[in-house]
Amino acid sequence: MENRKSASCWDAVKRHKWLSAAGLLAVTAVALAMAAKASGGKGMQKGGALPGGMGGGQMNNVSTVHAEKPQPGTIERTASLSGTVEPSDVVYVYAKAGGDVTSVLVKAGDTVEAGQLLCTIDTDQVESAKNSMDSAAVSLSEAQSTLSRMQLLYQGGDISDQEWEQYQNKVKTAKLQYDSAKLNYERQVEYSSVTAPIGGRIETCDIETFDRVSQNAQLCVISGEGEKRVSFYVTERVVAKLKQGDAITIRKNGEEYQGSISDVSTMADETNGLFKVKAELPEAGSIATGSTVKVTVVSDRAENVMTVPVDAVYYNNSVGNVYLYEDGTVHKQQVEVGLYDSERAQILSGLTGEEMVISTWSSQLYEGSTVKLKGEAESAAASGGAPGEKEKGMAPEAGREAGADRPDGDRGSENRQDNGGRRGAPGQNQ
């Protein structure tokens, strides 16, 4: 009897626990229903997406891309170099004779005219040349006097024709010696008075009064009043692409100046192994002579070639690829890339020119993936069509996990590189 009572009590406890659990579930269900009613079914209105990203929400996971056909164009590659500004006309003034500097009439920064006196030098040869000239003058005078006396004798028949001719030759010889001595004296005087060969600006003048200079010592440097130029050095690869008349750009202190190449050396400099190039700068008068400037030249050029946006090219193990749009499907195409700049890249092979090349990046760019073209998507939106109606058939593809059913190495995110990687194609380093 006691056992039956104990069993009945235990059954009552279990029924009480089950009723409590059922009541709790009922209360939870009512709370969830009220919360759903309060939210107005917003989650379902957004495509009926279920928790966890399942269901119809993935039908909208179709990327919109921009695509265009390859365009003909010109690609230029530039090289940035360092150059030195110098005047177009530079004259180095040297001492033509050694001696003591007696006066210096100019200094660095002065403007001089052609023929203006720069300095005087007391050369050692002036006095010697003057003595030689005076001696030659005396000899000439004596020869002329002797000839005058011999003329009377010759007319009287006292001397022969041969003797008369000898006296005439002595006068001629003395005259030549005098002229030579006079020329030498005048040259020595000229050497002692150093003048400016051209008009311009004194760039350097490193002599002072009482200095002793030797023959061929540099006295001054004069820059002409004309245009300035820039000289710079380039490699053998770049010099092969340059010619006279090519445009260049230089930059100094935030200012930009235009110029044109005037001289391209075909012999490498023995000190650095590079080739020297000179360019005229008609508008760079404000840049100081000797300044270092940044020079930009066109080092390579391809005209009227097939080009695509540089952002459309992807590299995988140094092999160029582009993605093509064809009736809503993506196809990967290997291409050979030539020159490129910041906007366009030259395509040497792999395209015919009629393809639609995708130029925007998306994680959906892989072989066989489904995308929407930007223009078509905008047209569909303008016509009022519901995006979900056209995407229902794409749900299985859109719902596929990223990278599923794609061959290794064909994932869009892996093929995408930054600008540095994209421009790392072989042979493209400047």
CATH number at 194 reads 2.40.50.100
Cα 18 to Cα 8, 14, 22, 25, 30, distances in angstroms: 15, 6, 6, 11, 19
* Same-domain status, 170 and 283: no
Please tell me whether residues 308 and 415 are part of one structural domain: yes
Question: Does 55 map to a domain?
Answer: no
Q: Based on the fold, state whether residues 95 and 217 are members of the same structural domain.
A: yes
Q: How many domains does the chain have?
A: 3
Domain annotation covers residue 24: no
Q: Is residue 128 a part of any domain in this protein?
A: yes
Q: Are residues 351 and 380 in the same domain?
A: yes
130 and 276 in a single domain? The answer is no
| Residues 298 and 316 occupy one common structural domain | no
Range of the domain at 145: 90-221
Q: Is 41 part of any domain?
A: no
Local confidence pLDDT in tens for the 430 residues of the chain: 444 444 444 454 445 444 455 555 555 655 555 654 444 443 333 333 333 333 334 445 778 899 999 999 999 888 899 999 988 788 899 988 888 898 999 999 898 998 999 999 887 777 788 888 899 899 999 988 888 888 888 888 888 888 888 888 988 999 999 999 898 888 888 888 899 998 888 988 989 999 988 888 999 999 887 778 899 999 998 999 899 999 999 999 888 999 999 999 999 998 999 999 999 988 877 788 888 999 999 988 889 999 999 999 999 888 999 999 999 899 999 999 999 888 999 999 999 999 999 998 888 888 999 998 887 656 666 555 544 444 433 333 333 333 333 333 343 434 434 433 444 444 444 4
426 and 419 Cβ atoms separated by less than 8 Å: no
Q: Is residue 7 helix, strand or coil?
A: helix
Same domain membership, residue 311 and residue 292: no
Answer yes or no: is 17 within a domain: no
Quick check: is 328 in a domain?
A: yes
Report the C-alpha gap between 148 and 82 in whole angstroms.
Answer: 75
- Do 272 and 289 share a domain, yes or no? yes
Domain ends where: 172, 200, 221?
221
Query: Do 317 and 294 reside in the same domain of the chain?
Result: no
Same-domain pairing of 271 and 122: no
Q: CATH number for the domain including 285? A: 2.40.30.170
- Give me the CATH number covering residue 313: 2.40.420.20
Q: Determine, yes or no, domain membership for 40.
A: no
Of 175, 201, 221, the last residue of a domain is 221
Asked if residue 172 is part of any domain, the answer here is: yes
Neighbours of 241 (CB within 10 A): 15
Q: Which of 176, 203, 221 is the last residue of a domain?
A: 221
Do 95 and 216 fall within a single domain? yes
Q: What is the DSSP string of 261-297?
A: EEEE-SS--TTTS-EEEEEEETT-TTSPTT-EEEEEE
Please check whether residues 280 and 341 belong to one and the same domain.
no
